[in-house]
Amino acid sequence: TRLARKLRAPTDSSRPSRADTTQQVKRTLITNLVGITLTLLGAEAIGGILLGESLVMGASMFNSTELEKFTPDIIILLGNTHIIVAHFIGIVVGLFLLDRVYK
C-alpha cells in the first residue's frame, strides 16, 4: 500500500509523521469494524434462513432435489465467514501497527 511504501522510505523527509500514521491506522480499524459488523449481521440472517429451511424440510432431508436448494446458501455462508476472518486479520494487523508506532 501507499502507507507501507512511505514507511519503508530510506529518508526521514518522505516518511509520514507519527500522527499521520496513527490517523490512517485508526481509519482503517474503523472501516474494518464497520465491515465486520455488517458481515456478522449478514451471516446471522443467512444462518437463520438456513435454520428455517431445515426445520420446514424435516424428514425430506434425504431427497437430493431438496438438498440442492441448500448448496448456494451454504456457499454464501462460507464466503461470509471468509470475509469475517479477513476483517479480523485487518483489525489485528492495525492493532499491531498502532503498537509499533507507539514503541
**31-61: pLDDT as tens digits:** 988 988 898 888 888 888 887 877 776 655 5
Position 70 scores a pLDDT of 65
Q: According to the 3-state scheme, what is the secondary structure of the chain? A: CHHHHHHCCCCHHHCCCHHHHHHHHHHHHHHHHHHHHHHHHHHHHHHHHHHHHHHHHHHHHHCHHHHCCHHHHHHHHHHHHHHHHHHHHHHHHHHHHHHHHCC
User: pTM, whole model, 2 decimals?
Assistant: 0.65
